[in-house]
Amino acid sequence: MSYLKDELYQLIKEDSSIFDFLQDAALDGLWYWDLENPDNEWMNPKFWATLGYKAEEMPHSPSSWQNIIHPDDLKLAIENIQKHCENPETNFDVIVRYFHKNGSTVWVKCRGMAIRDKDGKAKRLLGAHTDITELKIKEELLERCNIAASVGFWEIDLQIMQPKWSHVTKLIHEVAEDYIPDVRSAFNFFKEEDKILIETAFTKALETGTPYDLELQIITAKGNLKWVRAIGLSEFKDGVCTRLYGTFQDIEERKSLELALIAEREKLSNILIGTNAGTWEWNIQTGETIFNERWANIIGYTLEELQPISIETWVKYTHPEDLKISNNKINDCCEKKSEYYHCECRMRHKDGHWVWVLDRGKITSWTADGKPLMMFGTHTDITEQKIAFERNQRFIEQAPSAIAMFDNQLCYLAASNKWIEDYKLNGLDIIGKSHYEIFPEIGEDWKRIHQECLKDKSQKCEEDKFIRQDGTTQWIKWGIRPWYADKNTIGGIVMYTDDITERKKTQEQLSISEQAFRGNFENAAIGMALLDRDGKWLKINRTLQEIVGYTEEELQNLTFREITYPDDLDTDVSLYLDLLHGKISHYQLGKRYIHKNGSIINIILAASVVKDSDGNILYFICQIIDITALKNAEKEIHALLDVTKDQNKRLKNFAHIVSHNLRSHSSNIEMLIYLLFKEHPELEENNILQLVKTASDNLKDTIDHLNEVVQMNLETSSNLVEINLHQFAEAAINNLSLLASEAQVNIINNIHPKDEIKGISAYIDSILLNFLTNAIKYSAKERDSFVELSTYKENQYLVLTITDNGLGIDLKTQGSKLFGMYQTFHGNTDARGIGLFITKNQIETIGGKIEVQSELNKGTTFKVYLLNANK
């Protein structure tokens, strides 16, 4: 046995303070160092077991542990040992990192006490280790959650009014990690109008304990404007503020969401500092048990109050559910399935509440027949850690963002209410269940992302399509990163998602609209352009380039003023300024452009303005129609109109000549024949003179017809008047009643009494009489004949239909000649072939048209389209 071990045992027997120290320290390792012979140091087996080594393979020398401690922490430990040895008032109490045999990091709380001679010189150093790795993992997990949720922590040292900012708080302010703020500089980050709010809230919290929770804006060290959520809390004792602390959260991306993740790093640090362990020894075969005072204190008792002590004491105060778990784990140790016992249990406190303890131990001896004999272990009060962890779970659950935490098997550890809501998981118990069980629709791509994350690859995506099991499409923004159980061990995944389905739908609709506009813009048959506020061309389509002769690049170096005809510029600019200043929303005018080749282009310009959501002008949209050809055609029409007017004037003169001169000669011939027959009646029997008389009569009729046709062509629509068609039809029927009666033709007037047209009265009389006379003249003698007049409306016309069941017309052979002059079809001796010609011209003169349907021996229907007076 090492002399140091013997010496230590002797000291324990002689000095009770050493025993007290052992009870107060966590017993995950014990060491005793000879400072006078510094190469000698004894470490107990638990010291090495905690670090993954066997005691028998490790030398009792400081170099053995100095080789596996983190280099930075070795320097820290040596410095603190030196300070403690030099000054008994200075405690040796540090947290260091060791490298476990398996490569992982073990966090150890190391406490030491110097053994001094009568002169106060340190001769030995006794130390104890407490494994706090799990607490550090939880602390790092909390920090990672804070970073994921962008929540920082702050606290004020009230003695010197010095703020302390966490890492995340500094990130939010965009300051360096070594930045040290003061109260005034912290306030100065806030926007001027928000600075008063935060200063007032801070003062109230300090003086009266009034907490605050504000959403304000700061200007970061890099000049970025950012929305933050500032929460402040205070603690009072005897009316005096003893602590002022809070959180600082970046809510820039989603200001409306209320993130509830609050950093607990300082509280966790306090828990670590206050951790003490109770010890226990158990004879598994007899049930005899030994507890130390701290074991009893954890559940609110003194050791004396728990007497008599046995294993039943443990059973009595442990929660039944946890006792079952504990027994199973102890059985694993007894069956050598597990070397170490580790269990978190609830124990009933003296006051009636439950406290959580971390119960750890190991079977250290066995009976000769291989049964477990002695088991030693420790109790550590982890109530505050458990409360903190459960609170973190609640923070995640209550976070306004959709956040979920998984272990390395993708089973749920925690999920925010927003996550539950977004994915419609209400009423489901998902904790402990596989993510793939909850979402069976998850594809191989997502599974690959999860596995990459478990290999330390963080990823994010601004928009991603997620096809749900019910076939619906959900668009999400997501981020995923690993969390660590220790420095080298990934514990699982933290995932954040944001449902952007509605935003994506809006973007797609906007994209479709933009594509449609772009297609219409580029391929429009009219000129289109976008102009800025100063009238400079931004974008010009191909049609406009062809209209003005400039390329897009050339126009972009000009303004609309430079290609506008000078005489049109004032009007255009005036309207443009009204549009610019919001007096009008659009305008349209006819104007002239100057083509690149110098020619004048006549156009119609339509302009409107496009504004953003704040009402600021983005650009002007202009549509340009080239009407140069139309203007040229208009000029030609005016020229033709002048010619037509001149021709009409000459035609009128010709009409007068025909009416006066030819009619005079024709009348003279007719009078001479009349006088000749009067003086010589016998000449009436002369065939030659009869032919002369017939020719004279025909000449008179021809002159009358030609004169009537010319007069019709001179009439204009300005002479049209409103005419009641029913009354005119009745008058025509009355005039022809004797003729119709003799021919046994029934004329039926079905024209509505209120039907009115626009026309010339003489023409309407002539049209009705002509159609009715022809219908009577060419009626069929072998059947009851009729003529029916009716009307109906079509567009701007009142259509008069005149239907008979007479002889009919063969339109196949005669249709093209039907309305010609001097065309006859039935061989009547008195037919002159002028009636339908005159009627058609009269109809067209008053703005109408005529159609015909006819079949031989069945009848004819004429459709006369007359202008409706009621349109």
Residue that has been written with the tokens 């994350």 in this structure = 453
For 3-131, which CATH class? alpha beta
Does residue 168 surpass a pLDDT of 50? yes
Tens-place pLDDT, residues 480-513 = 998 775 567 787 888 888 877 777 766 666 555 5
Nearest to 690 by CA among 701, 682, 831, 667: 682
State how far Cα 477 lies from the chain centre: 11
CATH 1.20.140.10 fits 524-626, yes or no: no
**Quick check: helix, strand or coil at residue 127?**
strand
Contacts of 512 (CB under 8 A, 6+ apart): none
User: Do 137-271 and 401-499 fold alike per CATH?
Assistant: yes
Domain positions in the chain = 3-131, 137-271, 276-381, 401-499, 524-626, 632-714, 717-868
Please report the pLDDT score of residue 807 as a whole number.
85
| Segment 414-428 mean pLDDT | 84
pLDDT band for position 716 (50/70/90)?
low
Q: Which of 113-117, 481-485, 784-788 has the weakest average pLDDT?
A: 481-485
Please report the pLDDT score of residue 699 as a whole number.
65
Please report the pLDDT score of residue 461 as a whole number.
85
Does residue 22 surpass a pLDDT of 80? no
**713: its two tokens:** 């062509």
Q: Provide the mean pLDDT of the chain.
A: 81
For 401-499, which CATH class? alpha beta
CA angle 164, 170, 172 (to 5 degrees): 130
Nearest to 54 by CA among 44, 67, 69: 44
Contacts of 365 (CB under 8 A, 6+ apart): 373, 374
Residue that has been written with the tokens 């030693």 in this structure = 376
Cα–Cα distance, 227 to 339 (Å, whole number): 53
Please report the pLDDT score of residue 552 as a whole number.
84
pLDDT band for position 318 (50/70/90)?
very high
Cβ atoms of residues 124 and 114 within 8 Å: yes
Tens-place pLDDT, residues 178-211 = 888 888 888 889 998 899 898 999 989 888 989 9
Protein fold of 276-381:
Beta-Lactamase (3.30.450)
Which residue type, as a one-letter code, is found at position 730?
A: E
Please report the pLDDT score of residue 821 as a whole number.
44
Q: Which of 30-39, 107-116, 210-219, 418-427 has the weakest average pLDDT?
A: 418-427
Cα–Cα distance, 237 to 227 (Å, whole number): 34
Tens-place pLDDT, residues 722-748 = 999 999 899 888 878 888 888 899 999
Protein fold of 137-271:
Beta-Lactamase (3.30.450)
| Segment 154-164 mean pLDDT | 82
Q: Which of 211-220, 384-393, 419-428 has the weakest average pLDDT?
A: 384-393
Tens-place pLDDT, residues 347-376 = 999 999 999 998 989 999 999 998 999 998
Cα–Cα distance, 490 to 405 (Å, whole number): 13
Please report the pLDDT score of residue 26 as a whole number.
45
Please report the pLDDT score of residue 656 as a whole number.
61
**282: its two tokens:** 């158990």
- Residue 542 backbone phi and psi in degrees, to 5: -65, -40
Strands 745-749 and 785-794: parallel
Cα–Cα distance, 297 to 309 (Å, whole number): 14
**Quick check: helix, strand or coil at residue 188?**
helix
Cβ atoms of residues 280 and 347 within 8 Å: no
Please report the pLDDT score of residue 324 as a whole number.
93
pLDDT band for position 751 (50/70/90)?
very high
Nearest to 841 by CA among 760, 753, 776: 760
pLDDT band for position 99 (50/70/90)?
very high
CATH classification for the domain delimited by 717-868, as one of 3.40.50.10420, 3.30.565.10, 1.10.3720.10, 3.40.190.10:
3.30.565.10
Residues β-bridged to residue 703: none
Does residue 414 surpass a pLDDT of 80? yes
Cα–Cα distance, 659 to 653 (Å, whole number): 10
**679: its two tokens:** 């003086």
Task: Let me know how long the chain is.
Answer: 871
Cβ atoms of residues 625 and 529 within 8 Å: no
| Segment 164-171 mean pLDDT | 86
pLDDT band for position 253 (50/70/90)?
confident
How much of the chain, in percent, has pLDDT values that exceed 90? 17
- 51 vs 33, 76, 129, 131, 447, CA distance in Å? 19, 19, 11, 9, 35
pLDDT band for position 5 (50/70/90)?
confident
Cβ atoms of residues 114 and 127 within 8 Å: no
- Residue 529 backbone phi and psi in degrees, to 5: -155, 155
